Structure 1
Amino acid sequence: MLRPAATPPPPSFARRATLARSLRLLGSFRFEQTDPARFYGGIAADTADLVADFHRDRTGRDLSGVTVLDVGGGPGYFADEFSARGARYLPVEPDPAEMHAAGRVLTGAVRGSGMALPFRDDAVDVCVSSNVAEHVSDPWLMAEEMLRVTRPGGLVVFSYTVWLGPFGGHETGPWHYLGGEFAARRYRRRHGREPKNRFGVSLFPVRAADGLRWAERVRPRARVLAAFPRYHPRWAWWLVRIPVIRELLVSNLVVVVAKRHPAG
């Protein structure tokens, strides 16, 4: 049996999760390809707010001096937001083209795979991944790696796009409902080029239930703080509790866990 959340999300983030925020974030998706600074800048700010809220509610402190490892950090929008909050930000990105996609040099970036993070055990205070899991072939190996490198008491924030949600196919949607390969072929015929997110190569189907099942598996090693639809207002978080419905309407699932100390 899947239990979607151990406790509700923290009060500070719950207050932030308004309908206005949801509309702003969901509306930005149409700019992902045409104006990535607008899209990724907004997502980065929201991610930093989310992490800061969870950290503050657990520790009473802001992110000043906190080491944040971002798996799939991209071209630097997240670096700006976390650095502005005082965090020591470390991005890991497997694709050098993504690191320089915005025409900027990202100081301190590490090239590496999320499925084999080049860091020792218990190395960072917070490990976060935003909209990356659907782009790797084994997202739950990546989740395990994120937990491994997080120190006891630290946070893992794992957020990803649900395949059967409205944005699951990324730029090939909504045709992904007829199959990822069909959607990719249609995009190529229509636009004369391959989609950026190619099904089976850089885009994979991940279910909401998969994230909830991973949260259940890690309970002996981590306290599950929350699992909720990232872009929904707080009054719609109940959707994650309903099988089938959550696959269609939870466009992005967030799972937040706190790593346990060895003694439990």
Structure 2
Amino acid sequence: MLRVSTPVSFARRATLRRTLRLLGSFRHEQTDPALFYGGIAADSAELIADCYADLTGRTLAGATVLDVGGGPGYFADEFATAGARYIPVEPDPSELHAAGLAVAGAVRGSGMALPFRDDAVDICFSSNVAEHVPHPWAMAEEMVRVTRPGGLIVLSYTVWLGPFGGHETGPWHYLGGHFAARRYQRKFGRPPKNRFGESLFAVRASAGLRWAGATSAEVRAIFPRYHPHWAWWVVRIPVLREFLVSNLVVIATKRK
């Protein structure tokens, strides 16, 4: 296990009340996406602001934030309120406009080949996207590449064997992703939005830890994103973490 520090400011925010609030919103992902993604956006902005302040002593005001897989723009208002310049990257134009939200400066592009020069942004983050791309660690390295030296990288993704790994097809994903997708089709008469092997992949916690140990970036913290701080220890336990860490977050800075 990597020796990493605790993100002090965010740890104070990671309470049981926060955990219960976020867990309660997950059931609305398909039926009320504004409620679900709005809550995740607010939480993401707080996470990033806290980590950036801990590492640099600065607020997000004036910082350029690149959101890999920004989707329909729920995050934009949160970062604008913090004074950041927010740039979402999304490969699917239908996702960019799914909520009827317009984000100035939105870029269509793949997270696995980001259309930005080296050292372009102060902060690069991705929330719940790595499990939707076939090569998540290529995407992670692209995030490092486009971040300036000393800048912040935040990668957060849903762990496959966790309770939300199958997304709307769960908990049947424990019997296999293809089985879960077929069952969803039979029950609802339509395929799931997240199709296993096409737009949903089995990404494990151990894979994120391996990337953290191999990347050129300096890893600062690794913890289960939606757990209260006192339960972060589960990420250190092999096998157990695959089932209990519903979302793994890796915090890193690009070496100068």
TM-score by length of 1: 0.96
Query: Alpha-carbon deviations, 1:223-243, whole Å to 9, x = none?
Result: 111000000000000000000
Which of residues 178, 181, 200 is equivalent to 1:181? 178
User: Partner of 1:11 in structure 2?
Assistant: 8
Matched, 1:243 2:246: no
SS of match in other structure, 1:70: strand
Structure 2: unaligned runs, 5 residues or longer: none
Aligned residue type for 2:4: A
Which of residues 48, 51, 56 is equivalent to 1:51? 48
Aligned residue type for 2:230: W
Aligned residue type for 1:178: L
User: Partner of 1:23 in structure 2?
Assistant: 20
Matched, 1:256 2:254: no
Query: Alpha-carbon deviations, 1:39-59, whole Å to 9, x = none?
Result: 000000000000000001111
User: Partner of 1:116 in structure 2?
Assistant: 113
Partners of 1:23 and 1:258 in 2: how far apart? 30
The list of structure 1 runs, each at least 4 consecutive aligned residues, that deviate by more than 4 angstroms after superposition, is none
SS of match in other structure, 1:118: coil
User: Partner of 1:95 in structure 2?
Assistant: 92
Partners of 1:144 and 1:11 in 2: how far apart? 26
User: Partner of 2:81 in structure 1?
Assistant: 84
Partners of 1:222 and 1:108 in 2: how far apart? 27
Q: How many residues align?
A: 256
Shift of 1:85: 0.4
Matched, 1:230 2:228: no
Shift of 1:104: 2.0
Shift of 1:60: 1.4
Partners of 2:58 and 2:103 in 1: how far apart? 27
Structure 1: unaligned runs, 5 residues or longer: none
Shift of 1:222: 1.8
Which of residues 202, 207, 211 is equivalent to 1:210? 207
Q: Percent identity?
A: 75
User: Partner of 1:133 in structure 2?
Assistant: 130
SS of match in other structure, 2:75: helix
Shift of 1:6: 1.2
Partners of 2:88 and 2:143 in 1: how far apart? 12
Partners of 2:226 and 2:194 in 1: how far apart? 21
Partners of 1:134 and 1:222 in 2: how far apart? 21
SS of match in other structure, 1:210: helix
Show the 5 A alignment for 1:132-171: 132-171=129-168
Query: Alpha-carbon deviations, 1:18-39, whole Å to 9, x = none?
Result: 0000000111000000000000
Partners of 2:100 and 2:86 in 1: how far apart? 19
SS of match in other structure, 1:115: helix
